[in-house]
Chains A and B, each alone.
Chain A
């Protein structure tokens, strides 16, 4: 056993980490997010033990909704990352495709990918747990549409980062959903968050979507305002993400990221 050789291999990874801010962020990020998210969940269940008493399927329904969001966002990012990993990125960007065509094509493909994952999950919940997500009724469609829009928006934002900063932004691609999870109030009502976090959460469409899903399942009522707020914030972020993508494309053309993408 050679200490020098082992130290050499350690250095290979240490140098990589110190040369890349996204990698450093990645190291700090996961434990922080996990502790925050599970801290809020534990806190909620410790103080509201009877909240879910009459709605056994609420947590599972919210988990399926969140997974759909996760699949949509990651699915979009994956499509972009696949081109980088396969070193096909340059071929794609020298093809006569408008940015709008690239985005639209990826948006549609991401939807198909997410649905392929979602349908078996929805079908399995009924025989396995006696729960049907279809209990959300017609509003399920609006909730899914809203989640899809937000998932795509996050995907476009991350892809803009990949265009601008190159493959080192990849780690961020995997972690955006987890950063937002504590603010999304997926498994607990917004009141459980500290005041500052509540203010941030209200600026995201997620809190309205999950609050409404719980409202429909627990109270058997519909608050249209929640659905409206979710779409309004989705619209704002979607437009911003598209603008940022175009901006990143132009910056990448100036900085040369597009020709170095595969390296």
Chain B
């Protein structure tokens, strides 16, 4: 499998504060990479750099073989993002929002795409509803539809199931698993839900204080650190001094 995302020794400084201190990783096709770490560890900064919203102080990001810095627009056509901290315009209907983003991503046959996504994400009865009047779970599925409107090769997910009830959370996780398998896309999943990460990710990066302090698949990490589950590994690493492996 080829690497769709290649991150090479990226650093990000805000003045004297080093938010990300030279990290490197790859994400293959058909792979979900978990990005874990306590608050302030540099996860959001890393995602911001991958989205082209932040310019790395040094280092290089390649998406599908193209340098992000030099091919921002071409790359943004191939990626998308979902986070509970950003929303779609509340006064527009679901269909209007998806149509707007379909246009921004220059999607042909927008209506077909919306129909396909609404069927997959159980949005059929919501297309004419006002986005701001939807429940958290419904809004989450609409945001996911927006994130998939351009059939991204790379999907960045920041806490995709935060504040969802267990049923909707499970639906979203199953959907992501199936969608990744079907479309062979790369997903970067930043989450504090360790069960979610254990279920979805074959490999994990553990960040703390702007560096990657450990990596591996969930079982390997659990065995290596002699803990019962990933949450305990997370707690151990978060509370320990940084250790590069």
Which residues of A pack against B, CB within 8 Å? 82, 86-98, 250, 253-256, 258-259, 262-263
Q: How far is the CA of A192 from the CA of B49 in the complex (A)?
A: 54
The one of A93, A94, A262 in contact with B85, judged by C-beta atoms closer than 8 angstroms, is A262
Chain B nearest CB, measured from A154 CB (Å): 24
Q: Of B52-60, B163-171, B231-239, which binds chain A?
A: B52-60
- Counting residue pairs across A and B whose Cβ atoms lie within 8 Å, the total is 72
Known: A256-B45, A259-B48. A90 touches B14 (CB 8 A): no
A-B contact pairs, 10 of them (CB 8 A): A87-B85, A89-B86, A90-B83, A91-B101, A93-B53, A95-B105, A96-B76, A96-B77, A258-B54, A262-B87
Of all A-B residue pairs in the complex, the 5 with the closest CB atoms, nearest first, are A96-B76, A95-B104, A258-B53, A259-B48, A253-B55
Judge whether B53 and A253 touch: CB under 8 Å.
Answer: yes
Q: Which of B52, B55, B86, B88 has the most CB of A within 10 A?
A: B86
Q: Interface of chain A, helix or strand or loop or mixed?
A: helix
The answer, yes or no, to whether B11 is at the interface (CB within 8 Å) is no
Which bracket fits the contact residues of B? Answer: 20 to 34
Nearest-neighbor residue (CB-CB) of A263 within chain B: B85
Within 8 A of A (CB), among B143-189: 146
Q: Interface of chain B, helix or strand or loop or mixed?
A: loop
The one of A82, A95, A254, A262 in contact with B76, judged by C-beta atoms closer than 8 angstroms, is A95
Nearest-neighbor residue (CB-CB) of A90 within chain B: B86
Nearest-neighbor residue (CB-CB) of A86 within chain B: B89
Judge whether B53 and A88 touch: CB under 8 Å.
Answer: no
The one of A82, A90, A256 in contact with B89, judged by C-beta atoms closer than 8 angstroms, is A82
Q: Which of B53, B88, B104 has the most CB of A within 10 A?
A: B53
Which residues of the other chain, B, contact A262 by a CB distance below 8 angstroms? Answer: 85-87
The answer, yes or no, to whether B90 is at the interface (CB within 8 Å) is yes
Judge whether A88 and B104 touch: CB under 8 Å.
Answer: no
